[in-house]
């Protein structure tokens, strides 16, 4: 293997940028990262950007800057197709002001890593695609916040309530609801009296409890805490249709809201369906073996939410979480160069280190997972909040190194002291 071997990574999320940053400087490979966004934001933080309790400008990593620091190339643009025969990734044009600033083009590869994440799945619910917003990317989170501030100001000018309704009782939906409550209280503290009472937040889920991936103890505690915060929690109901004004539920209830969010379900992006001759899961994910390479094409690797691992032990399940994507990235950083060179690697093993959910500054809950001396234990309050924060700091250290990661942490602490606690303009 030599420097002419071109490793192309599509998707600069938790796994994609991690792999590019840690393999990019090696002499044996030429690495290119493709992403339609100009910068990376840790996906578990997107709901804070959407709510406006964090600023995207302070929490993002520029792909151009990271590429220079870590020795890989960055190609901006949206991947719209993959040709296995030609070994090319087709990119759509980059459009600005109605003009093609950068024309459509192709990037050839020798080995392709697909790390394109996942999208919310509306299951074909009538009106959902037209009337609901999603928060799956940096751009979507920023657009959500821009619109929410406009809608909120409009409601205040008309002296009426402002409603946000969220479908999906997983971590994204729960954490977004809590962050919007926190935003309203922060803004109220800047002099808009009565604002918190004017913001109406609803959470809708088909299950009989929130956070079904968590133990029941945490699900019930989170639901109770959200209700204390004023969030309306609707369980065991299905959205049958969506119109411009409301969600229409299976029990006949109508949940009206100026902003409607779909944060339920998971499916792979449509890009994967353009690959001919590749086995996909029911959710459109690329099916990979225990070395994370496609079962049909060993030059294609699937990682993160867009991959569906099939192991010899069928009882092993890998969740679509940032934790799993991070572990897969670790595995590939260690073993992908060997696999490319024709060698073998041990099977990927997922380890459940537990999960955390943060309700903004109000509370946090977590489980320690099934590994270690305290396997299966619970975390709550400040300890859980600290654990949630440390996950993000660990991610920054992986991308930038311990020294620079520590400086970024210090910068965040200083910014928190001198800047408004919410995006106000």
Question: Which of 6-10, 158-162, 254-258, 405-409 bottoms out in mean pLDDT, i.e. has the lowest?
Answer: 405-409
Distance (Å, whole) CA 341 – CA 336: 9
Note whether 16 and 139 are same-domain residues. no
Closest to 241 (Cα-Cα) out of 224, 253, 223: 253
Q: Is the same domain home to 147 and 82?
A: no
Report yes or no on 44 lying in a domain.
Answer: yes
Do 132 and 261 touch, CB atoms closer than 8 A? yes
Structural domain total, the chain = 2
Is there a domain that residue 348 lies in?
A: no
Is the same domain home to 255 and 149?
yes
Residue 420 in this model has a pLDDT that exceeds 80:
no
User: Of 340, 364, 379, which residue sits at a domain end?
Assistant: 340
User: For residue 190, which phi and psi values (nearest 5 degrees)?
Assistant: -90, 10
Residue that finishes a domain, picked among 288, 309, 340? 340
* Residue 347 placed within a domain: no
Domain's final residue, options 283, 305, 340: 340
Residue 182: strand, helix, or coil: helix
* Amino acid 369: pLDDT: 66
- Note down the domain range covering 148: 128-265+355-418
Q: Is the pLDDT of residue 376 over 70?
A: no
pLDDT tens digits, residue range 27-82? 679 999 999 999 999 998 999 999 988 888 888 999 999 999 999 999 999 999 99
Segment 303-331 mean pLDDT? 88
Structure tokens at 8: 């192309």
One-character DSSP codes across 39-70 = EE--GGGHHHHHHTSS-HHHH-EEHHHHHHHH
Q: Provide the angle, in degrees to the nearest 10, between the axes of the packed helices 382-400 and 14-23.
A: 40
SS3 385: helix
46 in the same domain as 31? yes
- Whether residue 85 lies inside any domain: the answer is yes
Q: What value does the mean pLDDT take over residues 8-34?
A: 92
Residue 19 belongs to a domain: yes
- pLDDT score of 229: 94
Task: Reply yes or no on whether the pLDDT at 418 is more than 90.
Answer: no
Q: Give the pLDDT confidence score for residue 391 in this predicted structure.
A: 84
Q: Across the strands, what pairs with 255?
A: 247
| Across 376-393, average pLDDT | 79
Same domain, 202 and 234: yes
Q: What is the pLDDT of residues 267-300, one digit of tens each?
A: 999 999 999 999 999 999 999 999 999 999 999 9
The answer, yes or no, to whether residue 96 has pLDDT greater than 90, is no
What does residue 156 show for φ and ψ, rounded to 5 degrees? Answer: -65, -40
pLDDT at 422: 65
For all residues of the chain together, what is the average pLDDT?
90
Q: Could you give the percent of the chain with pLDDT greater than 70?
A: 95
Give the pLDDT confidence score for residue 314 in this predicted structure. Answer: 66
Residues 401, 314, single domain; the answer is no
pLDDT at residue 302, as a whole number: 97
Shared domain for 151 and 255, answered yes or no, is yes
Determine the average pLDDT of the residues in 155-166: 91
- Tell which wins on pLDDT, 129 or 355: 129
Same domain? 181 vs 105: no
277 and 205 in a common domain: no
215-261 pLDDT per residue, tens? 899 999 999 999 999 999 999 999 999 999 999 999 999 999 999 99
Structure tokens that stand for 35 in this block: 């992403």
Does 73 fall in a domain?
Answer: yes
Tell me what pLDDT residue 226 has. Answer: 96
CB atoms within 10 A of CB 372: 12
Work out the percent of the chain whose per-residue pLDDT is above 90: 64
**Residue 25 and residue 98 share a domain:** yes
In angstroms, what CA-CA distances link 334 with 26, 192, 276, 291, 341? 12, 53, 29, 12, 13
The pLDDT of residue 374: 47
In a domain? residue 16: yes
Question: Is residue 126's pLDDT more than 70?
Answer: yes
**381-388: average pLDDT:** 80
């Amino acid at each position: 293997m030599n420097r002419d071997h071109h490793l192309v990574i599509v998707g600069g999320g938790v796994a994609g940028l991690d792999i590019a940053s840690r393999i990019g400087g090696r002499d044996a490979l030429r690495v290119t990262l493709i992403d339609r966004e100009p910068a990376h934001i840790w996906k578990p933080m997107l709901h804070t950007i959407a709510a406006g309790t964090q600023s995207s400008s302070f929490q993002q990593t520029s792909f151009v800057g990271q590429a220079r620091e870590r020795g890989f190339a960055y190609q901006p643009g949206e991947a719209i197709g993959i040709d296995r025969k030609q070994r090319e990734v087709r990119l759509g044009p980059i459009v600005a002001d109605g003009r093609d600033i950068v024309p459509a083009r192709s990037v050839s590869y020798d080995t392709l890593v697909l790390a394109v994440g996942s999208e919310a799945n509306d299951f074909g619910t009538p009106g959902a695609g037209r009337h609901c917003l999603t928060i799956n990317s940096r751009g979507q989170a920023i657009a959500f916040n821009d619109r929410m501030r406009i809608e909120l100001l409009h409601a205040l000018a008309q002296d009426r309530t402002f409603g946000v309704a969220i479908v999906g009782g997983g971590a994204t939906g729960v954490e977004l609801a809590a962050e919007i409550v926190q935003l309203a209280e922060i803004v109220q503290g800047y002099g808009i009296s009565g604002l918190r009472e004017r913001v109406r937040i609803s959470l809708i889920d088909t299950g009989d409890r929130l956070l079904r991936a968590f133990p029941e103890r945490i699900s019930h505690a989170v639901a109770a805490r959200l209700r204390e915060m004023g969030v309306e929690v609707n369980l065991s109901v299905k959205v049958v249709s969506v119109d411009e004004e409301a969600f229409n539920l299976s029990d006949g209830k109508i949940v009206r809201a100026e902003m409607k969010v779909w944060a339920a379900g998971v499916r792979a992006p449509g890009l994967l369906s353009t690959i001919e001759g590749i086995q996909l899961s029911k959710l459109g994910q690329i099916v990979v073996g225990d070395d994370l390479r496609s079962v049909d094409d060993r030059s294609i690797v699937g990682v993160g939410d867009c991959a569906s691992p099939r192991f010899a032990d069928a009882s092993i399940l890998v969740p679509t979480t940032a934790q799993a994507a991070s572990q897969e990235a670790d595995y590939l950083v260690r073993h992908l160069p060997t696999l490319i060179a024709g060698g073998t690697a041990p099977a990927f093993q997922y380890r459940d280190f537990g999960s955390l959910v943060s309700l903004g500054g109000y509370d946090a809950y977590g489980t320690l997972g099934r590994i270690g001396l305290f396997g299966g234990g619970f975390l709550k309050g400040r300890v859980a909040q600290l654990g949630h924060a440390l996950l993000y700091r660990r991610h920054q250290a992986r991308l930038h190194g311990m020294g620079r990661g520590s400086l970024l942490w210090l910068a965040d602490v200083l910014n928190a002291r001198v800047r408004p606690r919410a995006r106000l303009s």
